[in-house]
Chain A
Amino acid sequence: MAAGIDRRRFLRFAGAGVAGTSVAGCMGGSQSSSSKKLQGGPLKIGVLAPEPGNNPIGASIANSAKLAAKQLNDDGGVLGANVEVSVKDTKEDPATGKRKYQELTVGEQVDLTTGVFTSEVQMNLMSSIAQQQTLHMSTGAATPEATRKVAQNYDRFKYYFRVGPVNSHYLGQNMVDFAKANFESMGWKSVAILAEDYKWTEPISKALTGSLSQAGIDVPINKRYAGGTQNFSPIYDQVANAGVDAAYVVMAHTGTSAVVQWHKQKRPFEFGGIHVPMQLPSYYKAVNGACRYAVTQNSATPTSKITKKTVPYANAYQKANGKYPVYTGYITFDAVKMYAEAVKQAKSKEAGKVIPKLENMSYTGTTTSSLEYYGKDHEYPHDVKYGKKYAWPVWLQWRETGGSGSQEVIWPENLASTKYQAPPWIN
C-alpha cells in the first residue's frame, strides 16, 4: 500500500482512538489506572504449526503456546489481559502457511504470531509479516535468510524475531564446535558428511565445508542427497567404501529412513549429527530402538537442567499432554513468555513499543539463561545469539536403559549424563 497504512492498522488506530475517547469520557481523563492495564481486550497469540494434531514438532509448538498462555492466565494474565491462543495448521506447505497467517492476522487480528517449522514456509511469510506489521517470533525454522532480510531492510522486517533454534549457519558452527571438542575422544578421525537437500541445510553444509578439514578431521565424502531419498543403501555403500569412522549427518525429513537402515544394516560406521526426528523423546519406541547409539544435537532434553526452567517446563508439558515435547516446544514456550514480559515492560502490545523491549532484553528461558537477540548492525539482526553464554545446544546419544530408550546428554560437559559409546557392531 503506497500510503503505508493498511486496513488492519487503520482499524487498530481508529479502534484505539474510539476506545481511548470513550475511556477518557467515562473515566474523566484518568491516565494512571489505564496505563497499568493493557488496552484493547485480550492478548491474542496466533500459532502456526505443522499438523498440530499428530506431528510431534507441530504438537509441541501448539501445546507449548497453550501451556505458556495457561500459566500466564493462572498468574493473572498480562497487565490484566487474558492471553488467548489460536492454532492454525500450516501442513508444512508454503501456500497453506501464508493463507493461515492471513487468517490469523487479518481475520483474527492477533497481536503476535509464533511457530512455523519449515524454512520454506517461513520465507513465504516474510513479506506478509512486513506488510501486517504484526510481531512474529519464529520457533522452528532455521534458515538465516529470514534474519538476513532484517539486515537488508530493518524498518520493513523488524517485526521478525527468531527465538530459536540458532540459525542454520550457527547450527553448522555448533557441529564444528562439537567435532573439535569431542571427535578425538570418540575416535572419529574421518567422517562422511550427509546432508539432505533442503533449504535449511545449505548454510550448514557451507559452514562444515572446509571447517572440519581445518580442524584436522578427514572428510572424504561431503554429499547433499535428494530430499526424497528413501533407499540409503547405495549412499551407505559409498560411505562404507570410503572407510570413514562415522556419518556426520544433517537430516530432518529423511532422518528416520536413514537411521533405521543404518541400524538394520549394521553399517561399519558410527552415526551422528543434527537429526531432527531423533530429538523426539518418544522416538526410541517409534523406531523399535533403531536410534540406539546414534547421536543428535538438540536444544534441550526433558532431564537436562540447562536453566531452572527447563525441567519444570518439560514436566508441566508432560503432565498436560501425556508426553514430553520436542525442541520446538521449549522454544515456543519461551517465545510466548518472553513476549508477555516485553508487553509488560512496554505496557502496550503495539509492535512498535514491544520491539525495543525485546531487542534489549536478556531473558532466562528453558534452553538458555541468556536469551538475547543480535542487534541492528549484526549480520543476522533479531536472531537468537549463539555461544556458550547464550543458546548453546546439547548433544545426546540414544541409549537403552531397562529395556527402553533414553536420551543421554554427552556434551556440553556440565550437562553430560554419560560418555559417548560406540555401537557394539563397530570393531
Chain B
Amino acid sequence: MVNVLTTAVNAVMISALYALVAIGFTLIFGVGGVLNLAHGATLTIGAFTAYYATAALGLGIWTGTLAALVVAGLFSAVLYLGMIRWVQDEPIMVMILTLVTSIAVEQVFVVVFGTQPKAIPSLLPGQLSAAGITVQTNQALTFALSWLLIGALIVAVNYTQTGKAILATSMSAKGAALVGIESDRMYLYTWLLAGALAGVAGVFLGSFRTASYTMGRGPLVLSFSIVVLGGIGSIRGSVLGAYLIGFLEVFVVSYVDSSLSGLASLVVLVVVLLVKPEGLFGRELAEA
C-alpha cells in the first residue's frame, strides 16, 4: 500500500495543473457564456510551441514557455475575432465551430509533428525531498505558478479597471454597455487571457508527460467535470473542483484500480449534473 502522504502530495501537484487548465475554460464561459471546445487544442498549441522552440530552434524552455503563452493567447484571440465573435449568440454554432477547430488543430499537428509523442524539457530539473516525500522541482513550480496565476487573476478581475469591466460584462453585457464598456473588447481580453493560461498549462502538461496531438482531449473532458462540479462560471469553484477531481483521480488509481482513472471524473460529471446541476458554487455572475 502506498503511503497516503505520498499520494496526497501527488494529488495536490496534479490538481494545481488541472486548476490551471480549467480556469481558462470557466473564464470564457463565465464572461462570454460560450463553451469553448477548442480549449484542449489551445493547450496542445502551447505544448508544441514550447517543443518547437526548444527542439527545433534550440531556445531555452523558459523562452519556449513565453512563446507558448504568446502563441496560444494569440490563437485564442484570433479564434474569437475571426470566428466566435460572429456567432457568439448561437451556442450550438459556437460548439460546432470550436469542436471543428479543435479537430483541425489536431490534424495539423499530425501532419507537422507526426503521431509519436514528444518530450518537453522540465522548466526546473531535479527533485525536492522533505519528510520522506520526493517531488519533482518542476511539479512544485507548477503548484507555485498555478497559485500565483490564480491569485493574479483574482486581483486583476477585482481591482483593475479592465478587470472590473470584464466582471461587469460577465454580470450583464447590456448593463456594461450602458456605462460605456465595449463588451466585444472584454470578450477578446477574456479569450486572450484564457488562451495564455491554457498555453502555459500545455507546457507543464507536456513537460510532465509528453506532448502529443491528442493531449488536449483529456484536459478538455476534465475541464468539463471540474467546471460543472465547481459551478459553471465560478473561478473559486473551478479551483476547488480541480482539487476534488485531482484527488479523486490519484486516489482511485492508487487504492482502487488504475483502469478507473478516466472513468471517475466522468461519473462525477454525470452525478453532479443530475443531483446538483448548479455545482458547488452555482453561477455567481449570472445575468439578471
Task: List A residues at the B interface (Cβ < 8 Å).
Answer: 50-51, 53-56, 197, 223-226, 228-231, 233-235, 237-238, 241, 256-257, 260-261, 264-266, 277, 280, 285-288, 290
- Of chain B, the residue at the smallest CB distance from A290 is B119
Establish whether residues A260 and B261, one from each chain, have CB atoms under 8 Å apart when the complex forms: no
Q: How far is the CA of A256 from the CA of B212 in the complex (A)?
A: 10
- State which of A225, A226, A256, A266 has its C-beta within 8 Å of the C-beta of B116: A256
Q: How far is the CA of A264 from the CA of B215 in the complex (A)?
A: 19
- State which of A226, A285, A288 has its C-beta within 8 Å of the C-beta of B262: A226
Establish whether residues A225 and B136, one from each chain, have CB atoms under 8 Å apart when the complex forms: no
Q: Is B160 an interface residue (CB 8 A)?
A: no
Q: How far is the CB of A41 from chain B (nearest CB, A)?
A: 35
Q: A231-B208, A233-B10, A237-B10 are in contact. List 17 more A-B contacts (CB 8 A).
A: A54-B111, A225-B259, A226-B261, A228-B261, A228-B262, A229-B261, A231-B250, A234-B2, A234-B10, A234-B254, A257-B210, A260-B209, A264-B208, A265-B136, A285-B55, A286-B117, A287-B119
Establish whether residues B253 and A234, one from each chain, have CB atoms under 8 Å apart when the complex forms: yes
Q: How far is the CB of A226 from chain B (nearest CB, A)?
A: 4
Establish whether residues A257 and B254, one from each chain, have CB atoms under 8 Å apart when the complex forms: no
Q: How far is the CA of A50 from the CA of B249 in the complex (A)?
A: 32
**Given known contacts A54-B110, A230-B209, is B119 in contact with A260 (CB within 8 Å)?**
yes
Q: How far is the CA of A235 from the CA of B254 in the complex (A)?
A: 7
Q: How far is the CA of A54 from the CA of B117 in the complex (A)?
A: 12
Q: How far is the CA of A341 from the CA of B215 in the complex (A)?
A: 45
Establish whether residues B210 and A260, one from each chain, have CB atoms under 8 Å apart when the complex forms: yes
Q: Is B127 an interface residue (CB 8 A)?
A: yes
**Given known contacts A237-B7, A256-B117, is B209 in contact with A231 (CB within 8 Å)?**
yes
Instruction: Give chain B interface residues in 229-263, CB to chain A under 8 Å.
Output: 249-250, 253-254, 258-262
Establish whether residues A241 and B3, one from each chain, have CB atoms under 8 Å apart when the complex forms: yes
Query: Which residues of the other chain, A, contact B82 by a CB distance below 8 angstroms?
Result: none
Q: How far is the CA of A237 from the CA of B210 in the complex (A)?
A: 19
Q: How far is the CA of A237 from the CA of B251 in the complex (A)?
A: 12
Establish whether residues A56 and B116, one from each chain, have CB atoms under 8 Å apart when the complex forms: yes
- Of chain B, the residue at the smallest CB distance from A285 is B55
Q: Is B57 an interface residue (CB 8 A)?
A: no
Query: Which residues of the other chain, A, contact B279 by a CB distance below 8 angstroms?
Result: none
Q: How far is the CB of A325 from chain B (nearest CB, A)?
A: 14
Q: How far is the CA of A265 from the CA of B126 in the complex (A)?
A: 8
- Of chain B, the residue at the smallest CB distance from A255 is B117
Query: Which residues of the other chain, B, contact A51 by a CB distance below 8 angstroms?
Result: 110, 114-115
Q: Mark B105-116, 1 if CB is under 8 A from A, else 0.
A: 000001101111
Q: How far is the CB of A20 from chain B (nearest CB, A)?
A: 47
Q: Can you list 22 A-B contacts with CB-CB less than 8 angstroms, sorted by A residue number? A: A51-B114, A54-B111, A54-B113, A54-B114, A223-B258, A228-B262, A230-B209, A230-B215, A231-B14, A234-B258, A237-B2, A237-B3, A238-B254, A241-B2, A257-B210, A264-B136, A264-B208, A265-B127, A265-B136, A285-B55, A286-B117, A287-B210
Establish whether residues A237 and B119, one from each chain, have CB atoms under 8 Å apart when the complex forms: no
Task: List B residues at the A interface (Cβ < 8 Å).
Answer: 1-3, 6-7, 10, 14, 55, 110-111, 113-122, 127, 136, 138, 208-210, 212, 215, 218, 249-250, 253-254, 258-262
Q: How far is the CA of A228 from the CA of B111 in the complex (A)?
A: 22
Query: Which residues of the other chain, A, contact B127 by a CB distance below 8 angstroms?
Result: 265-266
- Of chain B, the residue at the smallest CB distance from A282 is B116
Query: Which residues of the other chain, A, contact B121 by a CB distance below 8 angstroms?
Result: 288
- State which of B2, B6, B118, B254 has its C-beta within 8 Å of the C-beta of A286: B118
Query: Which residues of the other chain, A, contact B260 by a CB distance below 8 angstroms?
Result: 226
**Given known contacts A197-B259, A288-B121, is B253 in contact with A257 (CB within 8 Å)?**
no
Query: Which residues of the other chain, B, contact A233 by a CB distance below 8 angstroms?
Result: 10, 14, 250
Query: Which residues of the other chain, B, contact A225 by a CB distance below 8 angstroms?
Result: 258-259
Q: How far is the CA of A329 from the CA of B228 in the complex (A)?
A: 47
Q: How far is the CB of A123 from chain B (nearest CB, A)?
A: 21
Establish whether residues B259 and A53, one from each chain, have CB atoms under 8 Å apart when the complex forms: no
Query: Which residues of the other chain, B, contact A261 by a CB distance below 8 angstroms?
Result: 208-209
Query: Which residues of the other chain, A, contact B218 by a CB distance below 8 angstroms?
Result: 228, 230
Q: How far is the CA of A269 from the CA of B209 in the complex (A)?
A: 18
Q: How far is the CA of A223 from the CA of B260 in the complex (A)?
A: 13
Q: How far is the CB of B201 from chain A (nearest CB, A)?
A: 14
Q: How far is the CB of A364 from chain B (nearest CB, A)?
A: 31
Establish whether residues B258 and A256, one from each chain, have CB atoms under 8 Å apart when the complex forms: no
Establish whether residues B253 and A235, one from each chain, have CB atoms under 8 Å apart when the complex forms: yes
Query: Which residues of the other chain, B, contact A280 by a CB distance below 8 angstroms?
Result: 116
- Of chain B, the residue at the smallest CB distance from A233 is B10
Q: How far is the CB of B184 from chain A (nearest CB, A)?
A: 37
Q: How far is the CB of B32 from chain A (nearest CB, A)?
A: 29
Q: How far is the CB of B151 from chain A (nearest CB, A)?
A: 26
Q: How far is the CB of B119 from chain A (nearest CB, A)?
A: 4
Q: How far is the CB of A278 from chain B (nearest CB, A)?
A: 11
Q: How far is the CA of A241 from the CA of B122 in the complex (A)?
A: 25
Query: Which residues of the other chain, A, contact B259 by a CB distance below 8 angstroms?
Result: 197, 224-226
Establish whether residues B116 and A234, one from each chain, have CB atoms under 8 Å apart when the complex forms: no
Query: Which residues of the other chain, A, contact B10 by a CB distance below 8 angstroms?
Result: 233-234, 237
Query: Which residues of the other chain, A, contact B212 by a CB distance below 8 angstroms?
Result: 256
Establish whether residues B262 and A53, one from each chain, have CB atoms under 8 Å apart when the complex forms: no
Q: How far is the CA of A287 from the CA of B122 in the complex (A)?
A: 12
Max chain B C-beta neighbours (<10 A), residue from A224, A231, A277 = A231
Query: Which residues of the other chain, A, contact B55 by a CB distance below 8 angstroms?
Result: 285, 288
Q: How far is the CA of A264 from the CA of B141 in the complex (A)?
A: 14
Q: How far is the CB of B220 from chain A (nearest CB, A)?
A: 13
Q: How far is the CB of A127 from chain B (nearest CB, A)?
A: 28
Query: Which residues of the other chain, A, contact B249 by a CB distance below 8 angstroms?
Result: 231
Q: How far is the CB of B40 from chain A (nearest CB, A)?
A: 13
Q: How far is the CA of A224 from the CA of B274 in the complex (A)?
A: 32
Q: How far is the CB of B51 from chain A (nearest CB, A)?
A: 10
Query: Which residues of the other chain, B, contact A290 by a CB distance below 8 angstroms?
Result: 119
Establish whether residues B14 and A264, one from each chain, have CB atoms under 8 Å apart when the complex forms: no
- Of chain A, the residue at the smallest CB distance from B115 is A55
Establish whether residues A288 and B6, one from each chain, have CB atoms under 8 Å apart when the complex forms: no
Q: How far is the CA of A123 from the CA of B214 in the complex (A)?
A: 25
**Given known contacts A265-B136, A286-B116, is B2 in contact with A238 (CB within 8 Å)?**
yes
- Of chain B, the residue at the smallest CB distance from A54 is B114
Establish whether residues A229 and B258, one from each chain, have CB atoms under 8 Å apart when the complex forms: yes
**Given known contacts A229-B261, A238-B254, A286-B119, is B2 in contact with A257 (CB within 8 Å)?**
no
Q: How far is the CB of B114 from chain A (nearest CB, A)?
A: 4
- Of chain B, the residue at the smallest CB distance from A226 is B259
